[in-house]
Amino acid sequence: MPAYPDDLDLDARYAAARDIALAAAALGMDYYRRRDSLTVVHKGGDMQDLVSVADRAVEDYIRQELGRRFPEDGLLGEEGGPQDLGARCLWVIDPIDGTTCFLNGLHNWCVSIGLMVDGRPWLGAIADPNHGELFHGCRGRGAFCNDTPLRVSAATHVSQGVTAVGTNHRLDSGPFLTFLQGLLAESGMFLRTGSGALMTAYVAAGRLIGYHETHFKSWDCTAALVLVEEAGGLANDFFRDDGLLRGNPFLVAAPGVYRQLEALIGPTLHQPIPE
C-alpha cells in the first residue's frame, strides 16, 4: 500500500468530487427531461458510441469547476481529451456514462468523477440522479452509497448472484460468447445495464457479484475502482499497458467468485486490446 499523500489536500478534493458530481448530475437531468430535442452524433461513425449536447455541456461544467478549484491538477475526460497528464493529481471523468440509455429514456446513466494520485485511483464519486444515489469513496476511508457503507457480496459461487457483462462490438465476439456459455453452464445469471460505472459501483455495493467488460475505458471505471477496493472486492490490473489512455479488459468481483470468473473469461483478460 503506497504512503498516504499527506502533502495534498485530499479532503478538499474528495468533497469537491461529491459536490461537483451531484451538481453535474442535476444539470444532466435537465437535459434528460428534454432529451428528444438534443443533437446526437455517432463518434467515429460507431453506432455503439454516441455523444450528445448534454455530454459536452456536463463535461464542460465539470472541467470548469475542477479547473477553478484545483488549477494545478490534470484532467482526462471522455469528450474533451487529456490535459496535463503528467500532473500528480489527475481527474478522470465521464460526464454521462450510459449515453445510449440516457437518450432512450432509460434510468441507467450517471456522472462519474475519479481522481488518480501518483498514478493510482484514489477517490471517486458517481452520481445517479434517477435513483437519488451518490456512490463515493476514498482510499483508506471506505466506500458509501449516500451515507451507507458499502460491502461486496459474500457469494462463493457464480450461481449465488448476478454478474454484469459488457462487450465492445469492434472486438471478436468469440471469447465473450464462450465466457457467457461458461457462466450459464455454472447456473450463473447476467445482465447489462448500459452504464459501466454504475455496474462497477453495484459490485462494491454487493448488488452484483462481479462485472466483466471485454474493453473498458479509464473514464468508465477510475472512480468506481476505488469503491470496489474499499468495499473489499478484487480487480484485475486495468491500468497496465497504458490502460489509462487505451483501455483494457476489465474484471471486478467479490473475493469468493473472482477466481472463478477469471477462469471463465480465460487468457483474454490479461492480453492487450488489439490496435
As annotated, the binding site includes 78, 94, 96-97, 220
- Enumerate the known binding-site residues for Mg(2+): 78, 94, 96-97, 220
CA angle 248, 71, 61 (to 5 degrees): 70
Please state the three-class secondary structure of 167-192 as a single string: CCCCCCCHHHHHHHHHHHHCCCEEEC
Q: Report in angstroms the alpha-carbon separations of 111 from 52, 54, 129, 257.
A: 14, 12, 9, 28
Q: Work out the number of other CB atoms within 10 angstroms of the CB of residue 8.
A: 17
Residues 6+ away with beta carbon under 8 Å from 47: none
Q: Report in angstroms the alpha-carbon separations of 109 from 32, 153, 177, 212.
A: 10, 23, 25, 18
CA–CA gap between residue 185 and residue 194 (Å, rounded): 24
